[in-house]
Amino acid sequence: MFYDKAAKVALSFYVMLVNKGFNRKDRENFNTEGLSHLYWELFDSVDAEGSAFRYMEREAVLILDDIIKEHYYFRPQVLLGYTSKPVADLLGLPTSSSFRVGKAIRLKAKNPKTRMFLVENLIIRGVTRIAVCMDYVEFDTDNYLKKDALYIH
């Protein structure tokens, strides 16, 4: 009982902290190695600063960076990127989750136009694993262990 209550409280704090909006003015203060528009701290796990740059696969981040290069007006809000083991356990992610190995990104997308924009641009760039929900779009580049799919929640 206590664990469930503690997990819910921690999860609500995690959601508040993780909603990281992209701001071009802040870009010069962060690690931008290999990226033309984004910065690595957008994808960090909450408990480990710099974790995305160290542990995340480059492909998913480069795909998102390429979308911004083509559509300069797009401002992604990253809800979930790389997750460390304690955070992933707290969120209840399975051990085979692509977030644990840094191959997945969840972006906030509240309206249908934004969701369709993301899905269209991800498909153009060859992403074959996409999940669409009412609040977010999530994609991963983990094509080795999992089959191609488009999930709609």
| pLDDT for the residue 105 | 94
pLDDT tens by residue, 99-153: 999 999 999 999 999 999 999 999 999 999 999 999 999 999 987 767 777 778 7
State how far the Cα of 83 lies from the Cα of 39, in Å rounded to an integer: 17
* All structural domains of the chain: 2-152 (3.30.1380)
Q: For residues 100 and 88, what is the distance between their CA atoms, to the nearest angstrom? A: 7
pTM (2 d.p.): 0.81
Rg of the chain over all Cα atoms, to the nearest angstrom: 15
Task: State the chain's mean pLDDT as an integer.
Answer: 83
User: How many CB atoms are located within 10 Å of the residue 46 CB?
Assistant: 20
Residue 2 has pLDDT above 90, yes or no: no
